Structure 1
Amino acid sequence: MNVYGIRAIYKFEMARMWRTLMQSVLSPVISTSLYFVVFGSAIGSRMGDIDGVSYGAFIIPGLVMLSLLMQSISNASFGIYMPKFSGTIYEVLSAPVSFVEVVIGYVGAAATKSTILGLIILLTARLFVDYSVDHPIWMFLFLVLTAITFSLFGFIIGIWADTFEKLQIVPLMIVTPLVFLGGTFYSISMLPPIWQTITLFNPVVYLISGFRWAFYGISDVNVLLCAGMTFLFMVICLAIIAMIFKTGYRLRS
């Protein structure tokens, strides 16, 4: 294992976070804070509890997941796309590092940035809504696991994209709607039976349900199934990345 190579990639990507602090940290924190103000404080104070949890507190896990997924994808996709765009990707491919070490460096940095951002958002939420965390260790594990999984997904998008516009297509057109329809602002038990069944095909439901269980001990789906689905998606992403490096898809041409 080339630790020096991993460290070099990791430190370079982490340095980009501090160079773009406004865009990487402040912007998503401010955007999520607006959700807390509008849905948590303003609207939440006029709505009843959901499964014994105030509405403002109920939506916190979903909003954190929204920011976490978007930032994980954005950080990882932009991180690998820029070397392709500038042509420096060939220096990485010719360096004495394996594809595993390249992935660890880029995905590790993206997941670290997303995890830090998720924790900052959780601290910021305390200013607007009172909430509790029943299982803090599970909460942190779900946070890290989701950040790693969707950083891998973002890495795939960054390799697939050949324009800056394509970097935004999947997050905006697919991921964001899935998050909003995945129980961010409601429990799927509130839906008619047919829609409950359809919603279970939304993979984001399992992420939000598992994360919400770590906070309040309530979940729309069994928590072990939530963790299993997240692991399954991570394994699929790893398999796709391995195939990309094996074939050189959009890396060597």
Structure 2
Amino acid sequence: MNIYAIRAIYKFEMARTQRTLLQSVVYPVLSTSLYFVIFGSAIGSQINEVDGIAYAAFIVPGLIMLSLLTQSVSNASFAIYFPRFNGTIYELLSAPVAYYEVVIAYVGAAATKSVLIGLLILATAYFFVDLNIQHPLIMLGFLILTAVSFSLFGFILGIWADNFEKLQLVPLLVVTPLTFLGGTFYSISMLPPFWQNLSLLNPVVYLISGFRWSFYGEGDVSILASLGMTLGFLAICLAVVAWIFRTGYRLKP
């Protein structure tokens, strides 16, 4: 494995975050803090508890996951799209660097950024609500696993998109709506039976439920189902990335 190549690409991507610190870090943390104020304080004061958990604390895992998913997808998609856009991707492909090394570097950098933002949001949440994480190691594991899975998804999106509109289409019209409908601000047990069953078709429900379980030991679905769904999504993304590099889809002129 070419460690030097992976390190070079990884450091380049992390350095790009420092140049866009306001957009990459400050904005997602600040916008999520506003959710804490609006939903946690204003609306939370009108709602007693959800599944025995104070509403302000109940929404914390969902808000972290909301930011984690969107940031993972956008970081990875933009990272691989710009080399394709300006043509430098061909220099990378002709270099003595294996395809899996390119994926490790780009996805690793995107996942690192997303996990750091997720931890910053978690630290910010302590200023607004009282939190007691029951399973911190499982929480961290879910955080990393989800970040890697959706960074891979963003990597695929960045290769598929051939313009900026397509690059933003899936996050805006698919990822964000599924996250809002995935139990970020509510438990699906609060819904009528028909909508509960329909919500179980939303894969984000399993991600948020598993992450919330690591906080409070309670979730809409079992922790094993959440873990299985996350690993399944990761496996699908890995298979698609392998197919892309094997066929040269959108990479070769």
* TM bucket normalised to smaller: over 0.9
Residue 125 of structure 1, CA deviation: 1.0
Inter-partner Cα distance in structure 2 for 1:79 and 1:52? 42
Deviations 1:99-125 (A, max 9, x none): 100000000000000000000000011
1:41–1:129 contact (8 Å) kept in structure 2 = no
- Say whether residues 1:236 and 2:236 are aligned partners: yes
- 2:140 is aligned to 140
1:115 counterpart letter in structure 2 = V
- 2:65 is aligned to 65
Inter-partner Cα distance in structure 2 for 1:232 and 1:124? 31
- The within-5 A match list for 1:11-90 is 11-90=11-90
Identity %: 70
Residue 214 of structure 1, CA deviation: 0.3
- 2:197 is aligned to 197
Q: Which sections of structure 1, spanning at least 5 residues, go unmatched?
A: none
**Alpha carbon RMSD of aligned pairs, Å?**
0.6
Inter-partner Cα distance in structure 1 for 2:12 and 2:146? 23
- 2:166 is aligned to 166
2:139 counterpart letter in structure 1 = M
- 2:176 is aligned to 176
Inter-partner Cα distance in structure 2 for 1:149 and 1:134? 24
Residue 48 of structure 1, CA deviation: 1.3
- Say whether residues 1:149 and 2:157 are aligned partners: no
Inter-partner Cα distance in structure 1 for 2:59 and 2:136? 17
Q: Which sections of structure 2, spanning at least 5 residues, go unmatched?
A: none
Inter-partner Cα distance in structure 1 for 2:208 and 2:134? 15
Counterpart of 1:59 in 2: which secondary structure? helix
2:233 counterpart letter in structure 1 = F
Deviations 1:116-168 (A, max 9, x none): 00000000111112221110000000000000000000000000011111111
1:33–1:125 contact (8 Å) kept in structure 2 = yes
Deviations 1:66-120 (A, max 9, x none): 0000000000000000100110000110011111000000000000000000000
Residue 171 of structure 1, CA deviation: 0.4
Inter-partner Cα distance in structure 2 for 1:76 and 1:173? 18
Please report the TM-score for the alignment, with normalisation by the length of structure 1. Answer: 0.99
Inter-partner Cα distance in structure 2 for 1:76 and 1:191? 34
2:31 counterpart letter in structure 1 = S
Inter-partner Cα distance in structure 1 for 2:167 and 2:227? 27
Residue 43 of structure 1, CA deviation: 1.1
- 2:99 is aligned to 99
Inter-partner Cα distance in structure 1 for 2:65 and 2:19? 24
Equivalenced residue count is 253
Inter-partner Cα distance in structure 1 for 2:175 and 2:119? 21
2:94 counterpart letter in structure 1 = S
- 1:4 is aligned to 4
1:127 counterpart letter in structure 2 = F
